[in-house]
Structure 1
Amino acid sequence: MDYKAAGAPKKGNKIPRHKEHNAPGSEKNPFGKRPSKEELVARLKAKAEKSAKEG
């Protein structure tokens, strides 16, 4: 069997098919504007408490 003639799967390029609305470097999320780890942990704890109260 001639596998070359059957058509091997083509390698995809690494370009995303769409752009994220909050991608790093965009207007909504400029470079160098990352929240600190403490802020993230506080936000996650607040969300967990809120969901615990609701559910």
Structure 2
Amino acid sequence: MDYKASGAPKGPKGQPRHQEHNAFGGKNPSNKRATKEELLAKMKANAEKTSDGAAKD
């Protein structure tokens, strides 16, 4: 008897079994990645805050 051929076939390797509910690019419209311009603006605002705080000391 060929025992190797018996049983359920193996699934593809490296594939997730399910989609995460909060994965990027999913159905949830509130879960979007920020654009490069938005990130740069945020970084510049934070840099201004820290440089203003350091100048007062």
- Between 1 and 2, higher relative CO (CA 8 Å, sep ≥ 6) is seen in 2
Q: Larger C-alpha radius of gyration, 1 or 2?
A: 2
Q: TM-score range by the shorter chain?
A: 0.3 to 0.5
Q: TM-score, normalised by structure 1?
A: 0.45
Q: TM-score, normalised by structure 2?
A: 0.44
